[in-house]
Amino acid sequence: MVSELHVRGYQLLRIAPGMAPSGLHWRCSITPATNILKSNGALQYSFEDGVSVNYTSGLENHYFGWSDAGYITPSKMAKLFIQRFPRIAEAGKGSDWSYAGWYVEMLHLTYPDGFPIAYEDSYSANRFRDGLRMVGGKSDLTIPHPPPGLAEEVC
């Protein structure tokens, strides 16, 4: 779906993927680049409502809690995303060819059954120093870091 959003001109939308503390479920937030850290292009700055939307594999095919999108195409899901999250979609409108290119490469590396992770609550951040990890598929693979986001960390 995110790739479809990029094709539609929402290249400033990014993913922040990770693992739940239990290690059982993959998490993925979708948020604008303005909410992604400059220091790590795969971690979001804020988790406030309306700034990002979150999915966990524990929801199975009820993406974002939707009960009507379990078996639709990524293209139709992108259309629903724009309709149902207009504020996030608007903030994600624009060109970011570096990230869109990274995203396509990440999809290639994780195909057909891997998922990128940028954080795990049970591991230190050093585990991800060299890149994102993958769960499923070729789990020993390191995925290069995406381009930096636009959010400054405030200490």
pLDDT tens for each residue of 1-20: 999 999 999 999 999 999 99
pTM, rounded to two decimals: 0.93
51: left (phi over 0), alpha (psi -120 to 50) or beta: alpha
pLDDT tens for each residue of 80-127: 999 999 999 999 999 999 999 999 999 999 999 999 999 987 666 667
pLDDT-above-70 percentage for the chain: 95
State mean pLDDT over 31-54: 93
Give residue 29's Cα distance to chain centre.
5
Inter-residue contact 38 to 148 (CB < 8 Å): yes
Query: Given this model, what pLDDT does residue 4 score?
Result: 98
Q: What is the DSSP string of 58-70?
A: GGTT-GGG-SS-T
Q: Is the pLDDT of residue 61 over 70?
A: yes
Phi, then psi, of 38 in degrees rounded to 5: -65, -30
